[in-house]
Amino acid sequence: PEYISVANLGLALGVKQHVFLAQLAELGFEDISKESILQGETAALVAQEYGFEPTVDVGEEKDLKPRPTPEDTSALPQRPPVVTIMGHVDHGKTTLLDYLRKSSVAAGEHGGITQHIGAFSVRMSSGRDITFLDTPGHAAFLKMRQRGANVTDIVILVVAADDSVKPQTLEALKHARAAKVPMIVAITKVDKSDANVDRVKSDLAAQGVEIEDYGGDVQVVSVSGKTGAGMDDLEETILLQSDMMDIRAETDGMAEGWVLESSIKPIGRVATVLVKRGTLRPGDFIAAGMVYCKIRSLRNEAGVEVDEAPPGTAVEILGWKDPPDAGDMVLQAPSKDKAEGATRYRQELKDREEDVATMAVQGEERRERE
Ligand code: GDP
Ligand code: MG
């Protein structure tokens, strides 16, 4: 909703302030002062009293909105599952990710050169893709979840076979549960002589993880990021899990996604964006928070320019005027005007919220003095 202060409304109507306040009191407003904030509709009623015919611009048109999710998604194309790996420090997350990265068909094509963009897709030998997120900063993750976004479809909980459940394992478990997404347990370092897979299983069961060996439905896979043992099994388990979830998204229409991270590189301001719906291409206009971007180019995790980023993939996007914030939602706009207008509108809303807060504080202080 739009707001206006009594002072500004009085100015707009061309009425002297003390006269206006007295007339408002007559109209039945209680406890009214020049700092009082009126909602758009209320202000419009007052303006009508003064013979104006105001139109209330509720701003709906100015912002960009995600599309409603179709009730029946079964006809939509499948998209790659987005998978996040979590677990205790030194339990082998990076090693596991590196192994997957190197085993990707794409990595082979590009000579295995990969750059860190916080997310990467792995092409399975079956031709299907899985997108992995390097655990992004907790703050960004929390921000996305607070906005009701499950950027990740599946969580892989990594537990080292020689170390079992540790504080950050429990922390990760908490996050996975809060995100309400299915979890797969990867017991790593099974190549080590002191590996004890059964102990990990019973420790997890003791934490309420319903693993399949104990009659639950959480799949457990034993792997080694060193030798590659069990890795095929892990990939298959992920695909099986995603098939059960039937992960689908529109490849057309205005795209939607999330900023995973943003930085300034020698090539310019870049942001890694995970596309959730629609397809992004160079020349498209997108807005994230208070900034917009005409996409100059898209690069995959190998630093290779791509013509498009379909749903379920993450790309580094160039062309931002200012860096967007990690955790911000990305919405495509049909034109530059729309993208720019949306960010300007959001800025105005934020300024106004700050104004209202300031006025509230000032009002409070004044009342205390009186
Ligand atoms: P992270 O902190 O969870 O990312 O853990 P890292 O992937 O950095 O691994 C921590 C240490 O464990 C490194 O020295 C790795 O080489 C080692 N490591 C990771 N995975 C395995 C594994 O499967 N087998 C063995 N033997 N060592 C591993
Ligand atoms: Mg690591």
Q: Does 112 have pLDDT greater than 50?
A: no
**Distance (Å) from CA 90 to ligand 1 centroid:** 6
Q: Give the span between the Cα atoms of 356 and 330, in whole angstroms.
A: 27
Q: Taking the CA atoms of 219, 220, 221 and 225 in sequence, report the sign of the dihedral they define.
A: positive
**Distance (Å) from CA 152 to ligand 2 centroid:** 18
Looking at mean pLDDT, say which of 1-5, 139-143, 278-282 comes out highest: 278-282
Pocket around ligand 1: residues whose beta carbon is below 6 Å from it? 87, 89-95, 188-189, 191-192, 224-226
With H, G, I as helix, E, B as strand and everything else as coil, classify residue 365. Answer: helix
Under the banding of pLDDT at 50, 70 and 90, the label for residue 111 is very low
Q: Give the residue ranges of DSSP H helices in 180-296.
A: 197-206, 231-245
Mutate to test the pocket of ligand 1, among 95, 200, 234 (most ligand atoms within 8 A of CB): 95
Under the banding of pLDDT at 50, 70 and 90, the label for residue 96 is very high
Q: Give the span between the Cα atoms of 146 and 178, in whole angstroms.
A: 11
Please state the atom number of ligand 1 nearest to the C-alpha of residue 87.
3
Query: Which residues lie across from 10 on neighbouring strands?
Result: none
**Distance (Å) from CA 26 to ligand 2 centroid:** 68
Section 42-68 average pLDDT: 80
DSSP 100-112: HHHHSHHHHHTTT
DSSP 306-336: ES-B-TT-EEEEEEESSPPPTT-EEEEESSH
**Is there a contact between 301 and 294 (Cβ–Cβ < 8 Å)?**
no
Under the banding of pLDDT at 50, 70 and 90, the label for residue 362 is confident
**Distance (Å) from CA 258 to ligand 2 centroid:** 23
The region of weakest confidence among 225-234, 329-338, 351-360 is 351-360
Residue 252 tokens read as: 């057309």
**Distance (Å) from CA 281 to ligand 1 centroid:** 37
Which residue has better confidence, 110 or 200? Answer: 200
Mutate to test the pocket of ligand 1, among 85, 89, 90 (most ligand atoms within 8 A of CB): 90
With H, G, I as helix, E, B as strand and everything else as coil, classify residue 92. Answer: coil
Residue 129 tokens read as: 């893709």
Q: Specify the pLDDT at position 115.
A: 56
**Is there a contact between 222 and 190 (Cβ–Cβ < 8 Å)?**
yes
Tell me the pLDDT of the chain averaged across its residues: 87
Q: Does 324 have pLDDT greater than 80?
A: yes
Q: Does 20 have pLDDT greater than 70?
A: yes
Ligand nearest to the CA of 160: 1
**Distance (Å) from CA 340 to ligand 1 centroid:** 46
- Residue nearest atom 21 in ligand 1 by C-alpha distance: 189
Question: Pairing state of beta strands 82-87 and 154-160?
Answer: parallel
Which residue has better confidence, 337 or 352? Answer: 337
Ligand nearest to the CA of 89: 1
Section 178-206 average pLDDT: 96
The ipTM estimated for the assembled molecules is 0.99
Under the banding of pLDDT at 50, 70 and 90, the label for residue 59 is low
- Reported as a single tens digit per residue, the pLDDT across 198-243 is 999 999 999 999 999 889 999 999 999 999 999 999 999 999 999 9
- Reported as a single tens digit per residue, the pLDDT across 295-323 is 999 998 888 899 999 999 999 999 998 98
Section 344-365 average pLDDT: 80
Under the banding of pLDDT at 50, 70 and 90, the label for residue 119 is confident
Please state the atom number of ligand 1 nearest to the C-alpha of residue 188.
23
